[in-house]
A and B are shown apart, each in its own frame.
Chain A
Amino acid sequence: MSIVTVQLGQCGNQIGFEVFDTLFSDSHSSQGLCSKRENEAYQASCKERFFSEEENGVPIARAVLVDMEPKVINQTLSKAAQSGRWKYGQHAYFCQKQGSGNNWAYGYSVHGPRHEESIMNLIQKEVEKCDSLSGFFIIMSMAGGTGSGIGAFVTQNLQDHYAHSLKMNQIIWPYGTGEVIVQNYNSILTLSHLYRSSDALLVHENDAVHKICAKLMNIKQISFSDINQVLAHQLGSVFQPVYSAEGSFHYRRNPLEGFKDPALYTSWLEPVDAFNVWKTQRAFSKYEKSASLVSNSQFLVKPLDMIVGKAWNMFASKAYLHQYTKFGIEEEDFLDSFTLLEQVVASYYNL
């Protein structure tokens, strides 16, 4: 079964590239530390999920790239093509000229509807190339305008058109000390909309990944490239094939099956059931042994609470609101978002 990835905005596209690169390198790594048969099963399973085959043998990523300005997409497409090992589909991207100006309202209310047909057509094409669709992986940031606004819009659309497929959103939580001044507005609008249409939100905080680079990896001058590679490594290890219930040599057909496990989402669990282990013998990305933890915990309440708090403070003074109302996002829309997120925060705190 296959996953179709949608990469949105500068962040989404930069990360998306690293993820595919990591997945590819890992599956072709010669240090699987397992038997040949095992390796072949692994490779076959991996390839099907994320890549489709081309006549001349270069695998094509099952991805759609979306951005409202051309620079990043151009870079991403050429980086992949230059590697010679894998590439993106020649026409698998949608691009405009002007960008979304860090404005969620512009992304959601203007770009989204305007380009809905083109973007959904591209996704449909990718879906048709799959023998069997497992679900969607949407990579986006919350702080900007395209990833956040169009990301929310597209996820909603996917909910309408592909109701039975799993939609997982990889969202990038911005640094606490601004990258974008209106990032808290963009974040709460994104989260409240995704909450209604996404099945799972996989969160990575820039601050946390930055700390990993600094403290655990000892990188002196950390660049976004470093951060994205760490992120891709984490994501890759979660998505690579793992054994199904039948045991060794049989890889799970559906890569997102583990995420459908309701145990992941309920709030009351016996400790013995709390951990669900997905195993494989094969090494990941040259690490002899590795473990990844995907958890639904209260970890995220504090950052969420902080973002809601800061956004609320700004909202109370009405700062920047004119930038949103001019594109159709009114104060009521903000209030709806705040209400929903306060409920989420309260639910987590009540556990």
Chain B
Amino acid sequence: MTQSVVVQIGQCGNQIGCCFWDLALREHAAVNQKGIYDEAISSFFRNAVLIDMEEGVVNEILQGPLRDVFDSKQLITDISGSGNNWAMGHKVFGSLYQEQILEKLRKSAEHCDCLQCFFIIHSMGGGTGSGLGTFLLKVLEDEFPEVYRFVTSIYPSSEDDVITSPYNSILAMKELNEHADCVLPIDNQSLFDIISKIDLVVNSGKLDTTVKPKSLVTSSAGALKKQHKKPFDAMNNIVANLLLNLTSSARFEGSLNMDLNEISMNLVPFPQLHYLVSSLTPLYTLADVNIPPRRLDQMFSDAFSKDHQLMRADPKHSLYLACALMVRGNVQISDLRRNIERLKPSLRFVSWNQEGWKTSLCSVPPVGHSHSLLALANNTCVKPTFVELRERFMRLYKKKAHLHHYLQVEGMEESCFTEAVSSLSALIQEYNQLDATKSMPVADIPRLSIAM
């Protein structure tokens, strides 16, 4: 059994991380009635590292229901925070805490029989998650080169209230480009839209249908009320569910397993193109027990609709490089095949990967569902987000707005900014080139001719 270590950094990272552990516990408790830590859950549990440069969030965790799960040895905190400044997080706290971080990571790794993957959870727009989080990536790459680095990154929406979020995000993106194996970009606006959609259904009170509360992709463990204590709880639960589904095939059995190293192998055709757009379905289960195949097929259709993406993106109208479908629950290979055949004609795949599907079947469904689907798409639909981010960056940078906060940090120069934006432009250019092939006819490359 392989292990993964979850590293949650900054306010956003830690809040999402908490939701993740909450739901993970619930999931394994449902599967293992005795409630003892079984092998599958030990695959993750002992190995978390929580980092934040201010104490508020981590302290809350230590006082909340998960206090018995973590111990202080797994935490690194400071008091002052990074002031939404990537340079503070990356340069100042990076050098200050490098040794401590390394030490905690090494300890976590030692507990692992076979460490396969680091899951990093952070936001891009702030200072700690963004700056210290990406500093960590380089450390992980140097110290544990064989271990995969999967990063869940929350990108700022256009109405983000942190003015400097474009600076932070682009400086962070350069690091993601260079040191992450796989990035799952997510934006708050999409999460918010998903919540609105669910609320609409839940509150519409149609006569015959009631939604099973536990099945809501936004619900917390054991929470029967639809109100959440904190505004971001519902959104964080969605991300937490993403991580649970991503790792389900590695934790539970199935007729077609998919391990984490297979995700990178199949979905990353070129090292720089490692941004995967994710979508989760279903968002809720109706209490109606009999699920006819039509509804199962609806789950597959939904996975490709832009309303279900965890990022503002429209994969159906862009170009696919590769796509993974991770199915859980009572779904068989014939259901999978039927739906791939059905949906294929409406999707555009790059010429050299016309059948670029990676599939997995895990027998254990998520709590409250009989089946679920996580789709991961390596698709050029990420490009608009990056382009928009660059535009927001340029609007600030042209006026040199707030730049002094960064430049006064030791080790920061203007070249950091120009290099970061070049890195992003190069990435955008790669996607542009791929998009240009979209409308071209698929020509077969001439084969080797053999003299007989």
A223 to B333, CA, bound (A): 5
A181 to B353, CA, bound (A): 8
Report if B264 contacts A (CB, 8 A). Answer: yes
**Contact of B445 with A10 in the complex, beta carbons under 8 Å:** no
Report if A308 contacts B (CB, 8 A). Answer: yes
Q: Mask for A308-322, Cβ within 8 A of B = 1, else 0? A: 111011101111101
Chain B residues, Cβ within 8 Å of A323: 264-265, 268
Residues A299-337 near B (CB distance < 8 A): 308-310, 312-314, 316-320, 322-323
Distance in Å: Cβ of B183 to nearest Cβ of chain A: 17
Report if B207 contacts A (CB, 8 A). Answer: no
**Contact of A319 with B334 in the complex, beta carbons under 8 Å:** no
Q: Which residue of chain A is the closest to B340 with respect to CB atoms? A: A177
Q: Mask for B251-285, Cβ within 8 A of A = 1, else 0? A: 00101110101101111111100000000000000
Distance in Å: Cβ of B109 to nearest Cβ of chain A: 14
A224 to B361, CA, bound (A): 10
Chain B residues, Cβ within 8 Å of A314: 352-353
Report if B60 contacts A (CB, 8 A). Answer: no
- Assuming the contacts A98-B261, A319-B352, A350-B452, asked whether A179 and B256 have C-beta atoms less than 8 A apart, the reply is yes
Chain A residues, Cβ within 8 Å of B69: none
A319 to B351, CA, bound (A): 11
Distance in Å: Cβ of A150 to nearest Cβ of chain B: 15
Chain B residues, Cβ within 8 Å of A308: 447
A204 to B445, CA, bound (A): 28
A10 to B256, CA, bound (A): 8
A342 to B449, CA, bound (A): 8
Report if A346 contacts B (CB, 8 A). Answer: yes
**Contact of B353 with A342 in the complex, beta carbons under 8 Å:** no
Chain A residues, Cβ within 8 Å of B255: 14, 223-225
A70 to B270, CA, bound (A): 30
**Contact of A180 with B452 in the complex, beta carbons under 8 Å:** no
Q: Which residue of chain A is the closest to B255 with respect to CB atoms? A: A224
Contact of A99 among B113, B259, B359 (CB under 8 A): B259
Report if A247 contacts B (CB, 8 A). Answer: no
**Contact of B2 with A97 in the complex, beta carbons under 8 Å:** yes
- Assuming the contacts A97-B2, A350-B452, asked whether A181 and B257 have C-beta atoms less than 8 A apart, the reply is no
Report if A44 contacts B (CB, 8 A). Answer: no
**Contact of A223 with B334 in the complex, beta carbons under 8 Å:** yes
Chain A residues, Cβ within 8 Å of B355: 176-178, 310
Distance in Å: Cβ of B338 to nearest Cβ of chain A: 10
Chain A residues, Cβ within 8 Å of B337: 175, 177, 210
**Contact of B333 with A227 in the complex, beta carbons under 8 Å:** yes
**Contact of B1 with A343 in the complex, beta carbons under 8 Å:** no
Q: Which residue of chain B is the closest to A206 with respect to CB atoms? A: B333
Report if B171 contacts A (CB, 8 A). Answer: no
**Contact of A312 with B447 in the complex, beta carbons under 8 Å:** yes
A182 to B355, CA, bound (A): 10
**Contact of A177 with B341 in the complex, beta carbons under 8 Å:** yes
Chain B residues, Cβ within 8 Å of A72: 253, 257
Report if B45 contacts A (CB, 8 A). Answer: no
Q: With a 10 A CB-CB cut-off, give which of B322, B333, B341, B358 has the most chain A CB atoms.
A: B333
Chain A residues, Cβ within 8 Å of B268: 320, 323
Q: Mask for B113-131, Cβ within 8 A of A = 1, else 0? A: 1101000000000000000
Contact of A222 among B2, B114, B266, B333 (CB under 8 A): B333
Q: Mask for B356-389, Cβ within 8 A of A = 1, else 0? A: 1111010000000000000000000000000000
**Contact of A181 with B267 in the complex, beta carbons under 8 Å:** yes
Q: Mask for B316-345, Cβ within 8 A of A = 1, else 0? A: 000000100000000011110100110010
Chain A residues, Cβ within 8 Å of B361: 224
A89 to B236, CA, bound (A): 48
- Assuming the contacts A177-B341, A350-B452, asked whether A317 and B352 have C-beta atoms less than 8 A apart, the reply is yes
Distance in Å: Cβ of B44 to nearest Cβ of chain A: 15
**Contact of B257 with A316 in the complex, beta carbons under 8 Å:** no
Q: Which residue of chain B is the closest to A176 with respect to CB atoms? A: B355
Q: Which residue of chain B is the closest to A96 with respect to CB atoms? A: B114
**Contact of A181 with B352 in the complex, beta carbons under 8 Å:** no
**Contact of B266 with A180 in the complex, beta carbons under 8 Å:** yes
Q: With a 10 A CB-CB cut-off, give which of B253, B269, B452 has the most chain A CB atoms.
A: B269
Report if B444 contacts A (CB, 8 A). Answer: yes
Contact of A319 among B264, B269, B341 (CB under 8 A): B269
- Assuming the contacts A227-B333, A319-B270, asked whether A182 and B352 have C-beta atoms less than 8 A apart, the reply is no
A5 to B186, CA, bound (A): 48
Q: Which residue of chain B is the closest to A144 with respect to CB atoms? A: B262
Chain B residues, Cβ within 8 Å of A101: 259, 261-262, 264-265
Q: Which residue of chain B is the closest to A14 with respect to CB atoms? A: B255
Report if B36 contacts A (CB, 8 A). Answer: no
Q: With a 10 A CB-CB cut-off, give which of A102, A178, A210 has the most chain B CB atoms.
A: A178
Distance in Å: Cβ of A304 to nearest Cβ of chain B: 13
Distance in Å: Cβ of B270 to nearest Cβ of chain A: 7
Report if A276 contacts B (CB, 8 A). Answer: no
Report if A212 contacts B (CB, 8 A). Answer: no
A313 to B352, CA, bound (A): 5
Sample of 16 further A-B pairs with CB below 8 A, known A210-B334, A227-B333? A10-B256, A97-B113, A99-B262, A101-B262, A178-B356, A179-B357, A181-B353, A181-B356, A210-B337, A221-B334, A223-B333, A310-B354, A319-B270, A342-B447, A342-B450, A343-B450
22 A-B pairs within 8 Å (CB atoms) are namely A10-B256, A14-B255, A97-B113, A99-B262, A101-B261, A102-B261, A175-B337, A177-B337, A179-B357, A181-B266, A181-B267, A181-B356, A182-B266, A210-B334, A222-B333, A224-B255, A224-B361, A308-B447, A316-B352, A320-B265, A342-B448, A347-B452
Which 10 residue pairs are nearest across A and B when measured between Cβ atoms? A101-B261, A222-B334, A178-B357, A319-B269, A97-B114, A317-B352, A223-B332, A224-B255, A181-B266, A316-B445
